[in-house]
Chain A
Amino acid sequence: MIVRVLEDGQYEIADSDVPELERLDAVLESALEANDEPAFHRALHALLEKVRAVGSPVPHDEIVPSDLALPDEHMDLSEVRALLASEEG
Chain B
Amino acid sequence: MAFMKRLSGVVQAKANKVLDRVEDPRETLDLSYEKQLEQLQQVRKGVADVATAKKRIELQAQQLQAAASKLQDQARTAVAQNNEDLARQALSRRSAIATQLDGLRTQHEQLAAQQDRLVDTSKQLEARVEAFRTQKETLKASYTAAEAQTKIGEAVSGISESMSDTGLAMQRAQDKIANMQARASAVDELLDSGALTDVTGSSDPIQAELDKASQSSQVDLELAQLKAETGKGAPSALGAGGDEEVADAETVPQNAAPADPFSLDSGDGSAEPAK
> In the assembly, what is the distance between CA of A9 and CA of B169, in Å?
12
Across the interface, B117 reaches (CB within 8 A) one of A4, A67, A74, A84, namely A74
Cross-chain contact A66 with B3 (CB below 8 angstroms): no
Chain A residues with CB under 8 Å of B3's CB are 25, 28-29, 32
Taking the closest CB of chain A, its distance from the CB of B115, in whole angstroms, is 12
A14 within 8 A of B: no
**Chain A interface main SS type:** mixed
Cross-chain contact B8 with A88 (CB below 8 angstroms): no
A15 within 8 A of B: no
Taking the closest CB of chain B, its distance from the CB of A5, in whole angstroms, is 9
Cross-chain contact B1 with A68 (CB below 8 angstroms): yes
Cross-chain contact A68 with B135 (CB below 8 angstroms): no
B128 within 8 A of A: yes
Query: How many pairs of A and B residues are in contact by the CB < 8 Å rule?
Result: 94
Cross-chain contact A7 with B131 (CB below 8 angstroms): no
- If the complex has contacts A62-B131, A63-B135, A69-B11, are A84 and B154 also in contact, measured as CB distance less than 8 A? no
B245 within 8 A of A: no
- If the complex has contacts A7-B117, A21-B1, A74-B117, are A61 and B8 also in contact, measured as CB distance less than 8 A? no
Cross-chain contact A3 with B4 (CB below 8 angstroms): yes
Taking the closest CB of chain B, its distance from the CB of A30, in whole angstroms, is 9
A6 within 8 A of B: yes
A71 within 8 A of B: yes
> In the assembly, what is the distance between CA of A87 and CA of B3, in Å?
14
A6-47 contact mask (Cβ, 8 Å, vs B): 1 or 0 = 111100000000000110011011001000000000000000
Cross-chain contact B14 with A87 (CB below 8 angstroms): yes
The count of residues in chain B whose C-beta lies closer than 8 Å to any C-beta of chain A is 36
> In the assembly, what is the distance between CA of A8 and CA of B119, in Å?
11
Across the interface, A83 reaches (CB within 8 A) one of B157, B158, B168, namely B168
Cross-chain contact B1 with A65 (CB below 8 angstroms): no
Cross-chain contact B132 with A63 (CB below 8 angstroms): yes
Across the interface, A64 reaches (CB within 8 A) one of B5, B6, B7, B154, namely B154
Cross-chain contact B8 with A87 (CB below 8 angstroms): no
- If the complex has contacts A7-B121, A88-B10, are A63 and B4 also in contact, measured as CB distance less than 8 A? no
Cross-chain contact A26 with B2 (CB below 8 angstroms): yes
- If the complex has contacts A7-B121, A21-B1, A22-B1, are A66 and B8 also in contact, measured as CB distance less than 8 A? yes
> In the assembly, what is the distance between CA of A45 and CA of B166, in Å?
22
Across the interface, A69 reaches (CB within 8 A) one of B10, B124, B130, B132, namely B10
Cross-chain contact B132 with A83 (CB below 8 angstroms): no
22 cross-chain CB contacts under 8 A: A7-B172, A21-B1, A25-B1, A60-B131, A61-B131, A63-B132, A63-B135, A63-B155, A63-B158, A65-B12, A65-B157, A66-B11, A68-B1, A68-B8, A69-B10, A80-B7, A83-B7, A84-B6, A86-B14, A87-B9, A87-B13, A87-B14
Additional A-B contact list (16), CB under 8 Å, known A7-B168, A69-B8, A72-B117: A8-B120, A25-B2, A28-B3, A61-B131, A63-B132, A64-B158, A65-B161, A66-B11, A69-B4, A70-B4, A70-B7, A71-B7, A75-B172, A83-B7, A83-B168, A86-B14
Residues of A within 8 A of B (CB): 3-4, 6-9, 21-22, 25-26, 28-29, 32, 60-72, 74-75, 79-80, 83-84, 86-88
